[in-house]
Structure 1
Amino acid sequence: MRYNFDETVNRLQTASVKWDGVEKHFGDKEILPLWVADMDFKAPDPVIEAMKKRAEHGVFGYTIRTEAYYQAIIDWFEKRHHWSIEKDWILHCPGVVTALSLLVQTYTEPGDKVLIQPPVYHPFSYVIERNDREVLNNPLKLEDGQYKMDFDDLRRKLDEHQVKLFILCNPHNPGGRVWSKEELKELGDICLEYGVLIISDEIHCDLVYAGHTHTPMMTLSEELTQHTIVCTAPSKTFNLAGLQAANIIIPSSKLRSAFRKTLAAQFIELTNTFGAVATEAAYKYGEEWLEQCLEYLQGNVDFLIHFIEERLPQLNVMKPEGTYLVWIDCRALGLSFKELEKFTRQQAKVAFNEGYIFGVEGEGFTRINVACSRSILEEGLHRLEKAIQELEMNR
């Protein structure tokens, strides 16, 4: 069937963080939300139908994860990513960020250093600091309009500091890089050399554009398979974030046993009924929807790039290789990062995720969520254009 991604779905009064949370978060209900990383698109029809059928049953007791649930996950990753996962490797968690926090608790002690690569998804630093661990930064390098890993700095940091854990973002949020097999292999080999456990957040792995290929960290070698934990979820792929279902892949029996104990201690091993139903249906029947979604997202990315190149040459777009998030360099506007935040909210009246929350390396940048109807994206860009024109006229 053909899905209509141009449809503008009214998400107001649905308890949406992205839409209903605007007034509370920004203090102005007229602000257009292009921030929180969920889509404005309806989930695939087979997912909606499966949830309706389950709702009609009317009994919502404690829910187990069935053989069909596990097989749907295994089949999806084998088909889409040529990655063979065994059932025993799969552990459930309500969300990837929850998993990251519990993984930090499981494999490190208070005061330990955990390495990340800013600018990067801001909860990475939160789950480290709020668990009384210390963030160690290996900043990405901005070269020729895209981010690259700084392996020389990585080696220096690992030489100088005792590091137990490294959290990788692949595909990268906010920069949209889909790390190459060669980059990941070099990174993995360095971590193996220094005995650093890798947690790879691969939640955006299915959202990759033509010409690029996602490489699961575990597919690079058997040694890395045993030294890596991968966090996955259907939430970004199929717009199911509110159903709180993530799957954490841990091949090492020793590492898996340790994390299972943490999950048991937190009493979060049970599955949300609708999360389980939606996960299975999405992985079984959602591929047609995903392919059309990717086509539409690519169109939105192309539209944004063309708009900015033609009408807002003060800005520079980092063309994403994956995700539905676009990283924009706004430094030529001559605003401090706090002034930029105030400008986009009060003058442009558009909610973006301001770059500084991803680390000091993100100051002067902003992140735009393009997973919306093109008409909404166009409205947001027009608002930004008008505000920039007024800014320059008043200088």
Structure 2
Amino acid sequence: MAVHRRFDDITIDDLRAQGSMKWTRMPDHLAAFVAEMDFGIAPVIAQALHQAVDTPTLGYTPPAIKDEMSAATSEFLHSRFSWSIPPERIYPTADVLSAYDFVLERFARPGTPVILPTPAYMPFFTITPMRGRDVIEVPMIHGENDRADMDLDGIARAFDQGAHVLILCNPHNPLGRVYTREELVALSDVVEAHGGMVFSDEIHAPLTFPGHTHLPYASLSEVTAGHTVTATSASKAWNIPGLKCAQLVITSDEHQAAMKDLAFAVSHGAATPGLIANTTAYRDGLPWLEDVLGYIDTNRTLLGELLAEHLPEVTYRAPEGTYIAWLDATGLPDIAGDRSWATFFSEEAKVGLTDGAACGKAGIGHLRMMLAAPSHVLEKVVLAMAHAVDRHR
């Protein structure tokens, strides 16, 4: 496909010249640690941003732009996931983490712990204690076909310890799971039985692969709608996290009543260009997204082949969604000394990866890697890792 050739033509020099954080934070490394794509942005989004600059529309966000973003999000949620949400229940916010912070401050019972199935997205470990709350880690368990499943008994015990909020990340970062209806319903039974609440991080919702369908947790039933606050965004799927816009989706009538006095608190950090870009992505960005998903789908398979050939001690289960690969490095020979594998590969291979330990105790001995890169970059990453291991055997 022509679009695939275009992505293949992107060079490492091109990526470094673009100046992204991913490729300039460690400029002498092959970068695979930051969850952003190497493919730029959709031309239709670039065009909308140019128009905003030329108009200019960069002052305080006009009500019409907020309304358009909420309407576009509502349309997208319905067309993509068959989830009908009135636009007036969709609020702009700066990002998913700002939405989480808002939920902790405004809706969670004061001082209660937060349940975090692990491994998990790293900032949840930072923001939660900043708000005076403990994190109760509940490690995933191995299910069928070596699939990572939520430990429902462990989650129930965590609620019994006084927790109120459970963080659900679906599709899951870093494991790439896209939970089935049966899994989500079983989780909802546990949450409801304990009077709990779910913060559902669905930022990767548009990024699923053939055979897997994202189901918004709050869409399952009146029960899940009543105990959930959802956060999503176009930022991951369309590669625009720096534009600072996400959506807080309110499905509880009680929470919606409270939002009459709280809307400014959650929305003030959202940026006008971000609202414009999210609106454009949801309405006009699907062709670009489908091209990108097809390319990343190929990379999912390629990574498995590269590891099997060059680094067989590292195991990997292809993600069902997201563009994140979770690598199990516990089978590698004992050559890293007292270094983590992320430090080993940084120092010995000049490859930038995320240390799995940053994702919780369940992530020790693992690595988080990005698949949204030109295939030749992915190959260089694996070969550099393999050569580093071979030199130290």
TM-score > 0.5, shorter chain as reference = yes
Structure 2 distance, partners of 1:56, 1:2, is 31
**In structure 2, do the counterparts of structure 1 residues 115 and 12 end up closer, same or farther at CA, with 3 Å as the change threshold?**
same
Identity of aligned residues (%): 31
Letter of the 2:136 counterpart: L
Moved over 6 A (4+): none
Matched residue SS, 1:117: strand
1:252 aligned residue: 252
Alpha carbons 1:341, 1:354 under 8 Å: kept:
yes
2:72 aligned residue: 72
TM-score (norm 1): 0.92
Q: Deviations over 1:200-249 (max 9, x none)?
A: 00000111010111111012111211211111000011101110000010
Compute the displacement of 1:198 (Å). Answer: 0.6
Tell me if 1:312 matches 2:311: yes
Alpha carbons 1:121, 1:173 under 8 Å: kept:
yes
Q: Deviations over 1:34-64 (max 9, x none)?
A: 1110111121111111111221223521113
Tell me if 1:360 matches 2:364: no
1:169 aligned residue: 169
1:297 aligned residue: 296
* Count of aligned pairs: 384
1:123 aligned residue: 123
Alpha carbons 1:178, 1:321 under 8 Å: kept:
yes
2:81 aligned residue: 81
Structure 2 distance, partners of 1:38, 1:387, is 25
2:20 aligned residue: 16
* 37-46 or 269-278, which deviates more: 269-278
Structure 2 distance, partners of 1:183, 1:367, is 24
Structure 1: any 5+ residue segments left out of the alignment? 23-28
Alignment of 1:220-231 (within 5 A): 220-231=220-231
* 331-340 or 169-178, which deviates more: 331-340
Alpha carbons 1:14, 1:20 under 8 Å: kept:
no
Matched residue SS, 2:167: strand
Alpha carbons 2:115, 2:155 under 8 Å: kept:
no
Compute the displacement of 1:336 (Å). Answer: 6.5
Compute the displacement of 1:14 (Å). Answer: 5.0
Structure 1 distance, partners of 2:338, 2:249, is 37
Structure 1 distance, partners of 2:35, 2:74, is 25
**In structure 2, do the counterparts of structure 1 residues 40 and 119 end up closer, same or farther at CA, with 3 Å as the change threshold?**
same
Structure 1 distance, partners of 2:149, 2:164, is 23
**In structure 2, do the counterparts of structure 1 residues 390 and 263 end up closer, same or farther at CA, with 3 Å as the change threshold?**
farther
Structure 2 distance, partners of 1:111, 1:72, is 36
Alignment of 1:263-282 (within 5 A): 264-265=264-265, 268-269=267-268, 271-282=270-281
Q: CA RMSD in A?
A: 1.9
1:338 aligned residue: 339
1:100 aligned residue: 100
* 118-127 or 174-183, which deviates more: 118-127
Matched residue SS, 2:24: coil
2:141 aligned residue: 141
Q: Deviations over 1:335-381 (max 9, x none)?
A: 47833122110001100111000001100000110111112111111
Structure 1 distance, partners of 2:18, 2:298, is 27
Compute the displacement of 1:157 (Å). Answer: 2.6
**In structure 2, do the counterparts of structure 1 residues 295 and 371 end up closer, same or farther at CA, with 3 Å as the change threshold?**
same
**In structure 2, do the counterparts of structure 1 residues 312 and 173 end up closer, same or farther at CA, with 3 Å as the change threshold?**
same
2:238 aligned residue: 238
Matched residue SS, 2:331: helix
Compute the displacement of 1:68 (Å). Answer: 3.0
TM-score (norm 2): 0.92
Alpha carbons 2:340, 2:365 under 8 Å: kept:
no
Give the counterpart of 1:42 among 40, 64, 89.
Answer: 40
Structure 2 distance, partners of 1:296, 1:205, is 17
